[in-house]
């Protein structure tokens, strides 16, 4: 035609974009990896909704009770990878009644029915039984990835079913689960012809494994990149395993302690020297440091070091960490102390995530010299630091203000001062100013945990400034209903709020009922709530599930209790599935 | 306050904090600047409850110097632990407990005596399984001084699996059949015994794990029945 840019075929006009067939949109949406982007696209119009949901491959269900498994399977029929999370976060600390729920079985059953091509399944904080694992092994012919995090309810018998039945398994990743040991040699059930394993993590398993079987498995799985062992593997066997798998990228050593023998040391040193690709290291290292130098050759290459189960302390620990100049992630015990963190600050400038765990959380005296100093040093010298979890026994507003100034790029800031209500130890003031400085400075903060002595003021700052905050954890803080009101009426992006032992009552909850529907969930325990307010909330907001839990001794029917009765634990979440039917007697839905 | 669903009972209104009594009690530098809105304080009962909760905090801020001096003079008294505080995952706590006990035992083999464990600072975690319950629990035997204490704790722990039948209020029952259950344990030699036969201290020293099973299954329980647990497949 002559016009620049005109298409080749002048006769037939291209169909208008909104009449393109679904397959075109499905293909287009496959380039949107983020679930939020896909969700946004699905909201544009009916045909996009249809195309998007029919082509969605990865599904993440952050609350297993927000929708029914049947709903999920029906709406997203093409899912190949699903992740489902169950119990509230505070279940990790024993605050959720043990039989609360979160059974994985209905999800496995629905998936077996509707997603025969499922390849990946991940459960977090759920009850997974041996029957679930058997069903998984039997139902999905191309099953490749099983990840269980903080789950319970299964035994080595279930693992045996997975090993025997999943011909194409690539990843078996068991993180911090409670697994019953039935003395079944589940590892030997991987057939001799089975070679596809890329990740094997059984670090949380308490029993023994057959080491010869493990060695043969490791030898024939030439693509094995992640191997995390449990405590039953002695050091000399570790050396021979490493020689069989020098291509390893991530290693969990299991137990790492033995009496010093120069032969064994030499063997380990040689084995590690062969692991040129090793980047991530973890393990439960006991206090004997004699073998640490065997690792020196891999230090330079390490990007991730998890010593949070290692009771190592002293100069050997510091020497070791100081050699790890490329660390991006470091998890340690407070045994590292302030001077150790100072060494980290000067050596590990690429650090992005730091977690410091308490070695003796119940010791009131605190033998370990880890204070605010350590965190100040690291935040001053590590420009890429964005995620912190820090347990300590004292803090000052000045330190927090300094940290906030140094590191405006925090996305996750969790500070736990071990003794509740601890004030600034120099000025004896509440720590409001310090925590406020963090939210005001760190515009990208998405996760925040506060502690120490705090008044309602800090919540005013959080409500006003924490625009991107998605998860907030509060304990032993605040002094009136205003504190909770500030949070619920602010914090535009809030998704999860968990509160314990705060003087927050019914008023702010009811005044901000609508906010709760914009959030995923709210947990409140040992606050000042009454049953009447919970009833009112449930009546007002039919799309919320309002669960009340009291001391299991008092599991009497809710109907007989008055509005004034105190509520010990409240869990509220939005759901399209209506009230669940699997509550134990100590949990009631209002 | 656009978008807030205001209920008649919450009475949001402008004004200075009228609940000044509470702020004064707290003894902190309270809200010196104007607060934009105020929620009417609830009934007297809740006001007291809220005040009580701020009191401990107030005490701490008023007398930190005294507290510090007191701490320096005498060994710190054991404090009542709030459940689940500090927020260390139960999994991590269990692993660290096992590790520290192991370390202590490795460091002091001569001092280790079975009777010394009872009531000491070290812990003796054992797994407890109940037939029919979907998962295990763990108990620290050193937390208890007698079979009665242990029995009360086990009942509390597994009570959610009972039928809640009032007739059986005092006893654990099998969740499916409602039949009586007994508690058995595996000792150091791998034998399964009925709990209650030996003196308490001896039991704590030799118990490796506990299992609650139907009474009918436990009849004739003898040292030879140790393979019960390993039959699952």
Number of domains in chain B: 1
Name the superfamily (CATH) of residues A394-504: Ribonuclease Inhibitor (3.80.10.10)
Residue A497: CB atoms within 10 A of its CB come to 24
pLDDT of res. A473: 98
C-beta separation of A312 from A287 below 8 A: yes
C-beta separation of A185 from A158 below 8 A: no
B191 lies in which domain range? Answer: 125-162+179-217
C-beta separation of A512 from A490 below 8 A: no
Best of A87, A503, A567 to substitute, by most chain B Cβ atoms within 10 angstroms, is A503
pLDDT of res. A521: 98
Report chain B residues whose CB lies below 8 A from the CB of A429. Answer: 28-29, 61
Rounded to whole angstroms, the maximal C-alpha distance in chain A is 86
Query: E strands along A163-214, which residues?
Result: 171-175, 178-180, 199-201
Does the bond joining B13 to the residue before it have cis omega, within 30 degrees of 0? no
Q: Is B78 on the interface with A (CB under 8 A)?
A: yes
pLDDT of res. B23: 37
Q: How far is B56 from chain A (nearest CA, A)?
A: 8
Q: Give the domain CATH number at B187.
A: 3.10.20.90
In a domain, B132, yes or no: yes
In chain A, what are the domain boundaries?
Answer: 394-504, 506-589
pLDDT of res. B28: 40
Alpha helices in A357-480 (DSSP H): 372-381, 397-406, 432-441, 456-465
Cβ separation A428–B49 shorter than 8 A: no
pTM for this prediction? 0.76
Give A155's contacts (C-beta < 8 A, 6+ positions apart): A130, A179, A180, A181, A182, A184, B232
Measure CA A27 to chain center: 31
Q: Is A568 on the interface with B (CB under 8 A)?
A: no
Report chain B residues whose CB lies below 8 A from the CB of A430. Answer: 28, 61
Q: How far is A586 from chain B (nearest CA, A)?
A: 7
Which mean pLDDT values do the consecutive 10-residue runs of chain A (590 residues) have? 49 67 77 77 81 89 97 96 98 92 98 98 98 98 98 96 97 96 90 97 92 96 97 91 97 85 93 97 81 93 95 90 97 96 97 95 81 98 98 97 98 97 97 98 98 98 98 98 98 98 97 97 97 97 94 66 93 96 90
Distance CA A55, CA B220 (A): 61
In a domain, B141, yes or no: yes
Residue A585: name the closest of B131, B181, B161, B152 by CA.
B161
Burial of residue B44, with CB atoms counted within 10 A of its CB: 0-12 exposed, 13-18 middle, 19 or more buried: exposed
Q: Is B208 on the interface with A (CB under 8 A)?
A: no
Nearest-by-Cβ selection for B86 from A358, A430, A480: A358
Distance CA B11, CA A485 (A): 13
Cβ separation B92–A510 shorter than 8 A: no
Nearest-by-Cβ selection for B233 from A157, A309, A362: A157
Cβ separation B87–A93 shorter than 8 A: yes
Report chain B residues whose CB lies below 8 A from the CB of A514. Answer: 3-5
DSSP category for residue A178: E
C-beta separation of A292 from A316 below 8 A: yes
pLDDT of res. A205: 94
Which residues of chain B fall short of a pLDDT of 70? 1-81, 98-123, 134-135, 159-179, 219-233
C-beta separation of A495 from A468 below 8 A: no
pLDDT of res. A556: 59
Residue A555: CB atoms within 10 A of its CB come to 18
Distance CA B118, CA B98 (A): 16
C-beta separation of A175 from A202 below 8 A: no
Cβ separation A453–B61 shorter than 8 A: yes
In a domain, B40, yes or no: no
Q: Is A506 on the interface with B (CB under 8 A)?
A: yes
pLDDT of res. A5: 47
In a domain, B194, yes or no: yes
Q: Is B95 on the interface with A (CB under 8 A)?
A: yes
């Amino acid at each position: 035609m002559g016009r620049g840019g005109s298409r080749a075929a002048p006769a037939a006009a291209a169909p208008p974009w909104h009449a393109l067939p679904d397959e075109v949109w499905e293909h287009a949406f496959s380039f949107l990896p983020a679930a939020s982007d896909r969700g946004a696209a699905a909201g544009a119009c009916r045909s996009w909704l249809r195309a998007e949901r029919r082509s969605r491959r990865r599904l993440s269900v952050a609350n297993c009770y927000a929708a029914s498994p049947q709903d999920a399977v029906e709406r997203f029929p093409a899912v190949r990878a699903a992740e489902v999370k169950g119990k509230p976060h505070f279940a990790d600390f024993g605050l959720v009644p043990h039989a609360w729920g979160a059974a994985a079985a209905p999800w496995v059953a629905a998936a077996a029915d509707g997603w025969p091509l499922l390849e990946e399944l991940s459960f977090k904080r759920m009850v997974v039984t041996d029957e679930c694992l058997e069903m998984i092994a039997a139902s999905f012919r191309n099953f490749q990835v099983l990840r269980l995090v903080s789950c319970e309810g299964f035994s080595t018998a279930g693992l045996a079913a997975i090993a025997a039945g999943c011909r194409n398994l690539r990843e078996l990743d068991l993180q911090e689960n409670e697994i019953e040991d039935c003395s079944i040699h589940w590892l030997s059930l991987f057939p001799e012809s089975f070679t596809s394993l890329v990740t094997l993590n059984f670090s949380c398993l308490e029993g023994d494994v057959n080491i010869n079987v493990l060695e043969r498995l490791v030898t024939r799985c030439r693509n094995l990149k992640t191997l995390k062992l449990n405590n039953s593997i002695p050091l000399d066997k570790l050396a021979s395993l490493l020689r069989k798998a020098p291509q390893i990228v991530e290693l969990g050593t299991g137990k790492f302690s033995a009496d010093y023998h120069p032969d064994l040391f030499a063997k380990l040193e040689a084995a590690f020297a062969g692991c040129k690709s090793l980047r991530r290291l973890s393990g439960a290292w006991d206090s004997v440091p004699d073998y640490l130098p065997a690792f020196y050759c891999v230090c330079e290459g390490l990007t991730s070091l998890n010593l949070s189960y290692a009771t190592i302390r002293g100069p050997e620990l510091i020497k070791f960490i100081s050699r790890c100049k490329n660390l991006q992630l470091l998890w340690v015990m407070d045994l590292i102390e302030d001077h150790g963190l100072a060494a980290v600050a000067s050596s590990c400038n690429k650090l992005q995530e730091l977690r410091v765990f308490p070695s003796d959380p119940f010791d009131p005296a605190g033998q370990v010299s880890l204070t605010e100093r350590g965190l100040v040093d690291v935040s001053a010298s590590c420009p890429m630091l964005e995620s912190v979890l820090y347990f300590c026994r004292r803090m000052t507003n000045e330190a927090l203000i300094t940290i906030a100034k140094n590191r405006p790029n925090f996305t996750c800031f969790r500070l736990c001062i071990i003794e509740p209500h601890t004030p600034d130890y120099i000025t004896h003031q509440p720590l409001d100013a310090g925590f406020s400085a963090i939210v005001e400075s760190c515009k990208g903060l998405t996760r925040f945990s506060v502690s120490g002595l705090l008044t309602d003021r800090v919540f005013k700052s959080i409500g006003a400034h924490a625009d991107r905050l998605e998860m907030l954890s509060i304990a032993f803080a605040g002094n009136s209903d205003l504190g909770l009101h500030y949070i619920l009426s602010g914090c535009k992006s809030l998704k999860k709020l968990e509160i314990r032992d705060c003087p927050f009552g019914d008023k702010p909850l009811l005044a901000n009922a609508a906010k709760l529907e914009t959030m995923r969930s709210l947990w409140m325990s040992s606050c000042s709530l009454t049953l009447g307010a919970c009833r009112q909330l449930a009546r007002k907001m039919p799309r919320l599930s309002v669960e009340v839990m009291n001391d299991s001794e008092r599991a009497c029917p809710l109907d007989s209790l008055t509005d004034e009765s105190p509520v010990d634990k409240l869990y509220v979440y939005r759901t399209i599935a209506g009230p669940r039917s699997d509550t134990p007697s100590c949990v009631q839905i209002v | 306050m656009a978008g807030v669903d205001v209920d008649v009972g919450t009475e949001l209104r402008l004004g200075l904090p009228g609940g000044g009594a509470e702020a004064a009690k707290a003894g902190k530098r309270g809200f010196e600047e104007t607060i934009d809105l105020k929620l009417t304080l609830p009934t007297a009962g809740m006001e007291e409850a809220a005040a009580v909760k701020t009191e401990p905090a107030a005490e701490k801020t008023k007398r930190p110097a005294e507290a510090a001096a007191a701490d320096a003079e005498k060994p710190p008294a054991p404090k009542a632990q709030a459940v689940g505080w500090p927020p260390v995952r139960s999994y991590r706590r269990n692993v660290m407990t096992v590790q520290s006990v192991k370390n202590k035992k490795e460091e002091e083999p001569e001092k280790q005596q079975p009777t010394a464990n009872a009531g000491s600072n070290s812990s003796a975690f054992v797994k407890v399984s109940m037939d029919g319950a979907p998962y295990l629990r763990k108990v620290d035997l050193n937390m208890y001084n007698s079979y009665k204490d242990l029995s009360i704790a086990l009942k509390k722990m597994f009570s959610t699996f009972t039928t809640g039948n009032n007739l059986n209020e005092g006893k654990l029952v099998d969740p499916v059949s409602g039949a009586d259950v007994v508690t058995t344990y595996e000792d150091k030699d791998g034998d399964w015994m009925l709990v209650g036969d030996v003196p308490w201290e001896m039991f704590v020293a030799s118990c490796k794990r506990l299992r609650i099973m139907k009474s009918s299954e436990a009849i004739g329980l003898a040292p030879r029945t140790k393979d019960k647990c390993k039959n699952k497949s």
